[in-house]
Structure 1
């Protein structure tokens, strides 16, 4: 008994989701969240402004000896001034990768204070040791470009920490008159990920919440069970962007839930 891998098989293109649910006794959805969050700043699509995921994927492919792809083009940061916007673990990956790619300087710009950063504290310490500069309490306002439309700087405004919001985190508020520009040759947007479109789920009976995440574990359902009882889901697609270990734990729970489903059917 083993695992069969069906590569280059896209749900909704090569096979329908209903085909899967018809053929198998249980289906697990672990598609993650690949919707890249944007800042909606002017010139966000200018040359030199890139998203975190394509940047990291391209250089991982290079390390693995895979050919460059149109979907994930390589970004040369050697000898360049790199600024990364964000404060999570993906931000840390971009910062430390840029250091290893011999960038002239690498700066992290984060809108809250250091204690509010969601990223790993160890990663922050390691990044500092490797030469990353951190600018806390700064919020992006605009992207500056030259006459050819290429990135030259990111416009920032300093912030002060305000009262906690509904999520318990203190909200940054701009400080009037504190605007400044941070020169940059490469600007990496690392604001995190949100649920991507899953049109192949339409009509399946599986429910999504207001953020587009898959709903599981409602009253009368197992913890990882969707509203289509033979379909289970876990990881980022259910809880939002999180750590790999969290997704692994959800996979284990889903396996237990599937066994419970099978035992119930057998009885």
Structure 2
């Protein structure tokens, strides 16, 4: 009888890939986790309990068949594991690196609930696909049959790229229009290299280009090309622009020099990693070197900003968040990594204003306590009177989240319906809008959300478009 390769969570402890020493990793922008060795990936995969109701799978937005590819990895059938993983996820090596597994698959692992420590799902997912690239199992898309229909995708972030992949595999002609000089959206210019090294994203872009996807880069809709021109050129259009308008703070001193938006700060840093010339970075405007930095916010973008500031050589880095640690929206794993690297978190602290003459020299901080729950069920922060103080700072970064741009106005499309939040009104299952042949996916529909949800939306939308195209083709053939 063959030896049981699974259910070893009792004998084998959870073991993440080796993490680089904090003192070393804060000196560069390389990823902080090493790769599993083959034996270690097999060992950690074998801890899976293969439960009858896999909560890891049901709590994954893509419903990845996690138990099956863990079993295949434990059995040494790595190419099959990759094929199972790729069947539901366009970019498993990216999700393995940046998904908040502690809130999704791993956070709902049955053996975690029983006190044995979750299976290291994200690390195994990353290992499987990195190995697939190394072994040459991942090849450019090569459709069995080319189709005459075409789809234009506005935005080359994860949602747009995922839709492009599904459509090209079906033989549809795909053109991606993106305002930046490189595709990838926040994968390229928002997320720092210590979480997602840029060659990982560029490799996927190249695979899509080699597979027949046309990229029109540096192409801003409403400027270089109109929405109507794109719509006229294609059988369907997908809007996948994401949300890039930064939320702001209207308070005393908010116009001082040295108060910057998170997206500008992170984009400048990522462009430097590509070797680009970035005037605002080179002038020191978007460079934390030698400065006392204060980051305002508690989400994953704030974590990216504090950890980037450390690597740029800031004198000190502090993060202000108005709730406590337990109630912050960012990944707890990221908070722990930031603390290891020297970031100081000021919990229950909120800005009241900024001080300085020509440039900012400090943040006026008011201390908070948690009161009664709000509509979402989270305790609302309340100001503690007479507890204000000034936090010294030469660079303040606002990481307060993102809102959608006014696309109907920017694109001169008043009939493009939006919600009261400014997001595009579309069907969640298909992405279909009220405009014929126009779809929308990702953050521009959901509001600022996770990469994995954008991938899910892009894949679902592409399948809905294929259903529509197939119905139209069948109707024409029947005439």
TM-score of the pair, normalised by structure 1: 0.92
Q: When you count strand as a share of all residues, which structure comes out higher?
A: 1
Partner residue, 2:311:
100
CA–CA distance in structure 2, aligned partners of residues 19 and 133 of structure 1: 50
For the pair 1:25 / 2:235, whether they are aligned, the reply is yes
Larger relative contact order, structure 1 or 2 (CA cutoff 8 Å, min sep 6): 1
Q: When you count helix as a share of all residues, which structure comes out higher?
A: 2
CA–CA distance in structure 2, aligned partners of residues 9 and 23 of structure 1: 15
CA–CA distance in structure 2, aligned partners of residues 76 and 139 of structure 1: 24
1:229 to 428, 436, 442: 436
For the pair 1:79 / 2:286, whether they are aligned, the reply is no
CA RMSD of aligned residues (A): 1.9
Give the CA deviation at 1:247: 0.9
For the pair 1:12 / 2:219, whether they are aligned, the reply is no
> The residue matched to 1:6 in structure 2 has which SS?
strand
Q: Answer yes or no: is the 8 Å Cα contact 2:268–2:280 preserved in 1.
A: no
2:325 to 105, 114, 125: 114
Partner residue, 1:51:
261
CA–CA distance in structure 2, aligned partners of residues 118 and 140 of structure 1: 18
Worse overlay, 69-78 or 97-106: 69-78
Worse overlay, 75-84 or 117-126: 75-84
Give the CA deviation at 1:18: 1.6
Q: Answer yes or no: is the 8 Å Cα contact 1:111–1:159 preserved in 2.
A: yes
Partner residue, 2:463:
256
Q: Which runs of 5+ in 2 are unaligned?
A: 1-210
CA–CA distance in structure 2, aligned partners of residues 225 and 71 of structure 1: 40
Q: Answer yes or no: is the 8 Å Cα contact 1:58–1:72 preserved in 2.
A: no
CA–CA distance in structure 2, aligned partners of residues 104 and 72 of structure 1: 18
For the pair 1:241 / 2:452, whether they are aligned, the reply is no
Worse overlay, 203-212 or 252-261: 203-212
Q: Answer yes or no: is the 8 Å Cα contact 1:47–1:150 preserved in 2.
A: yes
CA–CA distance in structure 2, aligned partners of residues 260 and 169 of structure 1: 41
CA–CA distance in structure 1, aligned partners of residues 410 and 271 of structure 2: 28
For the pair 1:61 / 2:271, whether they are aligned, the reply is yes
TM-score of the pair, normalised by structure 2: 0.52
Give the CA deviation at 1:15: 2.0
Give the CA deviation at 1:131: 0.7
> The residue matched to 2:278 in structure 1 has which SS?
coil
Give the CA deviation at 1:160: 1.0
Q: Answer yes or no: is the 8 Å Cα contact 1:204–1:228 preserved in 2.
A: no
CA–CA distance in structure 1, aligned partners of residues 326 and 297 of structure 2: 14
CA–CA distance in structure 2, aligned partners of residues 72 and 163 of structure 1: 46
